[in-house]
Structure 1
Amino acid sequence: MLINEFSREVLTFHAMTLSLGLIVAGRFVPRLSLPSWLRWGLAGLAVVVSVRYLVSQLISGSTDTLEVPRPVLVAINWLFAFVLLLAIAQVALDVVTLLRSIIFRRWRRPAGWVRPGIGLAALGLAAVGVSQALRVPPPRIVPVVIRGLPDALEGYRILQLTDLHISPLFDRDWVAGVVEVANRQQADVIVITGDLVEGAPADRLADVAPLRQLQAPDGVFMSPGNHEYYFDYDTWMEIFRDLGIVPMVNNHRVIGRHDAALVLAGVPDPTALALGLPGPDLAAALAAAPQDAPAVLLDHRPARALDAAAAGVDLQLSGHTHGGMIGGLGGVAASLNGGFVAGRYDVGGMTLYVSRGTALASGFAVRLGVPSEMTVLELTGGS
C-alpha cells in the first residue's frame, strides 16, 4: 500500500511540474515579440526543464540527485525556478487581464513591455532564490520552556541540523562550512533530524567526511529521514556510525547532567516500511526511559506530533517541510505535514519545533522569503 501511494505521489508530482512548463510554453512564450524559431526553442526548453525530475529519475533512479558538476546543478535549479516563477506570473497576468477586461467591458491585452519585464524579474528572482538556498545558514537561537526542567539542565543547548541533502550541489566544501559554524555554537549536543544524504555511499563519501569534525560534549545523533532509505540505508547507517554520528532508530539515550537526566529519543521515517524495515515505534523508542526526565524526540516528519505529546515527550524536533521554500507556499507544505510547516508550535503541552532546513533537496534548491536555518534550542524552566 505504501509503495502504491508513493507511486501515485510521484506521478502527481511529475504531472504538476509538467503543467508549469506547458503554461510557460503555451501562454507566455508565444506572446513574446521574437522570431518564431526562437519562440519554439524557448517553449521546448521550458517543457524540458519542467520535467527535469522525470529525466533525473530515468537516468539516476532518483528525482533529486544527478551526478554532474556543481555548476551544472546550479544552472538547472536556476532554470527550473525561472520556469516556476514564469508560470505563476502568467497565471496572475491572466487573472488581472480578465478582471480588467470585465471592468472596461472589452478585452484589454497587457502592454508589450509587460511580458519582457516579467521575464527579466523572474530571471533575477530565480538567481536570488538559488543563492539563498546555497548559503551556509547562520545560527538561530530559539528558547524552549520545559516545565519542571531540572536546574542542572537550565540553558542546555541542543543544536539541530536537518535536511542537509549532501550531494554534488551541497558538497564537501558546503558541509565543511556548516560544521565550522555548528562547532562555534558550543552546543551540549548536536542532533540531525534526517535527510542527511542524496546519492550512493560510493559517490558521497568525500562529501560527508567533514561531518566527522562535529563536536559536542554529549555527542552527535541522527534520526533517519526518507532520503536515507532511497540510497543503501544499511550502508549509510554504518558510515554515520564511523563518522561518530549515532543513529537513533526506535531507541533512546539518557544524558546525565550532575544529578539530572535528559532523554534523547529517535524514530525512523515511515518510508522504512516500504523496504520491509522497522517503521516509527514511539513506544519502543521510549521504553524503559526514566519517567521523571524531560524527553526530546527526533522525528524527521512533524505530522505525528500529537502522538509524541500523548506519550509524554516534552520537545519534538523535526524537519522535512523545508519551510515551504517560497513565501506563500507554506500552506501547501503544511497540508502535507499535519498542519505544521516551520517554527515553534504548542502541541498538547509539548513544544514542536519544525526547522526550515539547513539545506534542501538538490533537485529544487530555491528559497524566497523562507531562509535556511541552523537552530540552537536553549532549554529553560521558565520563570
Structure 2
Amino acid sequence: MPALLVLARFVWPLTLPLGIKAIIAVLLIAASQYHLWNRLSSGSVFSPEFPRPFVIAFNWAFGAILLLAMLVLVTDAILLLGRPVLGHWPVVPDEVRYATAGVAALLAAIGVANAIRVPPVKDITVAIAGLPRRFDGYRLVQLTDMHISRLFPARWTRAMVDRTNGLDADLIVITGDFIDGTLDARRVDVEPLRDLRARDGVWAIPGNHEYFFGYEDYMRHFAGMGMTILANRHGVLTRDGAALVLAGVTDASAPATGRPGPDLAAALAGAPADVPVVLLDHQPKNARNAAARGVALQLSGHTHGGMIAGLDRLVAGPNAGFVSGRYRIDGMTLYVNNGTALWPGFALRLGRPSELTRITLRRAD
C-alpha cells in the first residue's frame, strides 16, 4: 500500500516520459515485496537468506518507500488545507518532489546505518528495596533481540561479544530473540556467543523468534555453549551468604506451537522467601502480573523500542503501553530494552537507538 500511494501521488504527477515512470513503478513494486522475496529465499518472512549487501539494500529501499509515503501524506494534507485559500488544488513542482524523495532516501540510509551498527553502551542504575548489601553495585549486562542472521552475521556477533566482555559484568542475561533462521543456517553466526564471559555466567530465556526456527534445537545448542536457560525456572545467585533470585519465563507465543507458555508461578516455585527477584520475560505486556507477584525488577525486550520515534505508538497497544525504557509498576521496575539489534525484515532506527545495556543494582533507601 505505501508503494501504491507513492506511485499514485508522487511518481504519476512527475513530468517524466511514461517509459521512465513504468521503470520506476517496477522498481518500487519489487522493493515493496521484500518480505515475499524473503519467503521465497528461505520459506520464512523472518529470515532473508540473501547476501548481506542485498539485505541492507532491500531494507533501505523498503524504508525509503515507507518514509516517502508518509511525507506524501503530509504534503497532501498541507495541499488540502491550502486549497480553500487558493481556490484550486496547488501544483507541486517536480523539484519539490525530488527533494522530498531525497529526504526519504537519506533518512532511510541513516535509519539502516543506526540499525546495523554494534550498539553503544547504555548505563542505567536500578534501586531495589531489600537488596542485600553484598549485591549493592552488582552489574548485569542485558542483551536482547540480537536477531543473528544474514544482516547480523558472525562478524557482527563477534564485535558485539567483544564489547560485552569489555564491560566486566557480574552477570550477562539474554532476554530472547537470539536468531532469525534455522540452526543449520545460523550455526557459524551464533558461535561467538560461546565466548561471552561474566563472573556469574550467562543466563537466557527464549523469545518468540526461537519458536519459529526449532525451539528445542536452539535451546539445546545454547545450553551446550554454556548458557543457563530459564524456561519457567529460577536460579539463586549468592554472595557471601546473601542471595538474589533470577527467574525466567518462556515466551507468550509458545502455546501457539504446542509448548508451555510463560508460567511465573512455576518459575518462582521453591525460590527463597524475602529475597529480591529479577525476572527475565521477553515481552513486557505481563509486567503488572509480575509486580503483583512481588518481582523487584523485570527485564524485557521484544518491542525494539518502536524503531522510529512517533511510530512507536503503534507498538504500544500490543505491549500494554510498554515500549522503551524504564517504568515503575506498583513498586516494581520494568526495563524495556530497545534491543541489541532488530528483525532484519524492517531494519530502521530513527530516534530509538539500539543499546548494549549495563544495569547496576543499588540498595533503595
Shift of 1:62: 1.6
Deviations 1:137-186 (A, max 9, x none): 11111100101211111011110000000001100010011101111111
Note the 1:252-291 alignment, pairs <5 A. 252-291=234-273
Match of residue 6 from structure 1: none
Write the distance in 1 (CA, Å) between the matches of 2:82 and 2:44: 44
**Count of residue pairs brought into register by the alignment:** 365
What amino acid is the match of 2:101? Answer: G
Pair 1:342-2:342 in alignment: no
Letter in 1 for 2:167: Q
After superposing the two structures, state which structure 1 stretch, 35-44 or 337-346, moved more.
35-44
Match of 2:362 in 1: 380
Which residue does the alignment assign to 2:50?
A: 68
Verify the 8 A CA contact 1:24 1:43 in the aligned structure 2. no
For the residues of structure 1 that align with 2:40 and 2:185, how far apart are their CA atoms? 18
Percentage of matched positions with identical amino acids:
50
Aligned with residue 137 of structure 1, among 92, 108, 119: 119
Q: State which of 157, 170, 175 in structure 2 corresponds to 1:188.
A: 170
The one of 308, 312, 316 aligned to 1:326:
308
Give the structure 2 partner of residue 173 of structure 1.
155
CA contact (8 A) 1:326 1:368 kept: yes
Q: Is the 8 A contact 1:25 1:47 kept in 2?
A: no
Which whole-Å CA distance do the structure 2 matches of 1:127 and 1:168 have between them? Answer: 18
CA distance in 2, matches of 1:369, 1:261: 38
Contact 2:175 2:300 in 1 (8 A): yes
CA contact (8 A) 1:193 1:319 kept: yes
Which AA in structure 1 matches 2:257? Answer: L
**Corresponding residue number in structure 2 for 1:115:** 97
> 2:340: which partner in 1?
358
Deviation at 1:59, TM superposition (A): 4.0
- The amino acid that maps onto 1:300 is H
Using the alignment, how far apart are the partners of 2:357 and 2:133 within structure 1?
A: 22
Specify every segment of 5 or more residues in structure 2 that has no aligned partner in the other structure, as ranges: none
Distance 1:103 1:187 in 2: 63
Structure 2 residue aligned with 1:221: 203
2:60 to 58, 67, 78: 78
Q: Shift in Å at residue 48 of structure 1?
A: 2.5
CA contact under 8 A between 1:254 and 1:263: conserved in structure 2?
yes
Q: How far does the alpha carbon of each residue in 1:6-31 deviate from its partner, in whole angstroms, 9 at most, with x for none? A: xxxxxxxxxxxxx1111112221112
Listed one character per residue, the Cα deviations across residues 272-311 of structure 1 (whole Å, up to 9, x for unaligned) are 1111111100000000101211100100000000000011
What's the TM-score, normalizing by structure 2? Answer: 0.98
How far apart, in 2, do the equivalents of 1:337 and 1:46 lie?
32
How many Å apart are 1:58 and its aligned residue? 4.3
Counterpart residue type for residue 27 of structure 2: L
Task: Please give the alpha-carbon distance, in whole angstroms, between the structure 1 residues aligned to 2:200 and 2:98.
Answer: 56
Contact 1:86 1:118 in 2 (8 A): yes
Aligned to 2:178, what secondary structure does the other structure show?
A: coil
Deviation, structure 1 residue 330: 1.3
- 2:334 is paired with a residue of what secondary structure? strand
Which residue of structure 1 aligns with residue 281 of structure 2?
A: 299
Distance 1:197 1:119 in 2: 33
Deviations 1:97-133 (A, max 9, x none): 1111123332212233111001111111111110110
Q: Which AA in structure 2 matches 1:88?
A: M
Q: Does 1:164 align with 2:164?
A: no
Give the whole-Å Cα distance in 2 for the aligned partners of 1:103 and 1:163.
50
Instruction: Give the letter for the 1:280 counterpart.
Output: P
Pairwise CA distance, 1:33: 2.6
Question: How far apart, in 2, do the equivalents of 1:111 and 1:28 lie?
Answer: 11
Aligned residue type for 1:56: N
Q: Distance in 1 between matches of 2:270 and 2:41?
A: 46
Per the TM alignment, residue 64 of structure 1 is displaced from its structure 2 partner at its CA by 2.2
Aligned-pair Cα RMSD in Å: 1.1
The letter for the 1-side match of 2:158 is: A
CA distance in 1, matches of 2:3, 2:260: 39
How far apart, CA to CA, are the structure 2 residues paired with 1:330 and 1:86? 18
Q: Extract unaligned runs of 5+ from structure 1.
A: 1-18
